[in-house]
């Protein structure tokens, strides 16, 4: 079975085009369709002194071609001439257009998954798009809930809240929200990742998981009752445990996923564990979306000194999850 994957490269001034060119020799396959302005790849290949060939597709329905160093491209135009290594808010519509087109490929044109390159949230906002990331944007496009899960070969981490200020996190920790998100996580681990009875460990919000209410009562009033109800629904779930011990080997080996309450509670741990092979999967969508977990790296553009491990891993996970979900 051929897995069709729609690929976006993120901000045109970032590292995405270079990564695509560096991967063309070995990792970009026939059914990988890159949605971009082809001039980005041409310029990048010249800067890196790498040989590529480009096959232009007229539509998402066109049949891609195969060949050495060949990249199948569905062209979309930049809004403004770009400079490698420099991001311009004027090209924000191009970035959004690429993401929307990739989602459409999955929703309406038989693509099994999409893999996204790094964007700059600040540049998109300066360009007039009030979004806080791929996860939230794709939820809007797909009209569904979305949950961020980071994963590598050893660890899966999900987030209860994502891109919000720390002083707003506690207001979003409600029994309803926890139950809703855990049900989605459990469902996708079963039907997208092939886990028959996934084990989920939930972190507390406060230091020491509240220390029996001394350091906060969200664990007693909200998190524990949510976990108890989820157990009654047949979900294999434990917690809340203190976040400072949630990532010891005992728990990593025992549980399939560790659910954290906010962005910087879980992400530093998994990125420290294996940053180069950590990728981002959006759960809750009717499509499969996988992303690299690094930024635009404008300082590395044109140098060729780029670790492509995260993008390779993203393509692998997209392919494997697509097969599991089919």
pLDDT tens for residues 210-247? Answer: 899 899 999 999 999 999 999 999 999 999 999 999 99
Q: Which residues of 234-248 are buried (b: 16+ CB within 10 A; e: fewer)?
A: ebbbebbbbbeebbe
- Mean pLDDT, the chain, integer: 95
pLDDT tens column, 22-47 = 999 889 999 999 999 999 999 999 99
By C-alpha distance, which of 118, 131, 94, 42 is closest to 297? 118
**Whether the predicted pLDDT of 1 surpasses 70:** no
139 near 132, Cβ under 8 Å?
Answer: no
- C-alpha distances in angstroms, 119 versus 8, 133, 140, 155? 10, 8, 17, 24
Judge whether residue 255 has pLDDT over 90: yes
- pLDDT per residue as tens digits for the range 66-106: 999 999 999 999 999 888 999 999 999 999 999 999 999 99
pLDDT of residue 306: 92
pTM: 0.94
* The pLDDT of residue 181: 97
Flag whether pLDDT at 2 surpasses 90.
no
Among candidate residues 326, 303, 323, the one with its CA nearest the CA of residue 85: 303
**Residue 326 pLDDT class (50, 70, 90 cuts):** confident
Tell me, what's the pLDDT at 148?
95
pLDDT score of 325 more than 90 = no
Listed in sequence order, the DSSP H helices in 224-290 are 224-232, 249-254, 263-274
| DSSP bridge partners of 214 | none
Q: Domains, the chain, ranges and CATH?
A: 1-144+285-326 (3.40.718.10), 149-276 (3.40.718.10)
């Amino acid at each position: 079975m051929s897995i069709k994957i729609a690929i976006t490269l993120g901000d045109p001034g970032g590292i995405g085009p270079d990564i695509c060119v560096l991967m063309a020799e070995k990792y970009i396959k026939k059914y990988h369709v890159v949605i971009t302005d082809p001039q980005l790849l041409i310029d990048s290949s010249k800067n890196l002194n790498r040989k590529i060939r480009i096959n232009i597709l007229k539509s998402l329905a066109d049949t891609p071609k195969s060949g050495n160093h060949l990249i199948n491209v569905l062209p979309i135009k930049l809004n403004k001439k770009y400079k490698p290594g420099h991001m311009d808010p004027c090209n924000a519509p191009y970035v959004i257009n690429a993401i929307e087109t990739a989602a459409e490929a999955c929703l309406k044109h038989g693509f099994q998954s999409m893999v996204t390159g790094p964007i700059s949230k600040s540049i998109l906002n300066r360009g007039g798009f009030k979004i806080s990331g791929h996860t939230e944007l794709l939820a809007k496009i797909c009209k569904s809930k979305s949950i961020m899960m980071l994963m590598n070969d050893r660890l899966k981490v999900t987030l209860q809240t994502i891109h919000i200020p720390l002083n707003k996190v506690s207001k979003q920790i409600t029994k309803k929200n926890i139950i809703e998100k855990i049900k989605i996580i459990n469902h996708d681990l079963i039907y997208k990742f092939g886990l028959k009875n996934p084990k989920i460990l939930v972190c507390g919000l406060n230091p020491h998981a509240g220390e029996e209410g001394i350091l906060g009562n969200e664990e007693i009033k909200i998190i524990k009752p949510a976990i108890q109800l989820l157990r009654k629904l047949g979900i294999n779930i434990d917690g809340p445990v203190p976040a400072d011990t949630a990532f010891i080997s005992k728990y990593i080996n025992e549980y399939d996923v560790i659910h954290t309450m906010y962005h910087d509670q879980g992400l530093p741990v998994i990125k420290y564990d294996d940053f180069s092979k950590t990728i981002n999967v959006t759960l809750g969508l009717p499509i499969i979306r996988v992303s690299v977990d690094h930024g635009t790296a404008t300082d590395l553009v044109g140098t060729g000194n780029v670790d492509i491990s995260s993008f390779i891993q993203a393509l692998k996970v997209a392919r494997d999850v697509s097969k599991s979900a089919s």
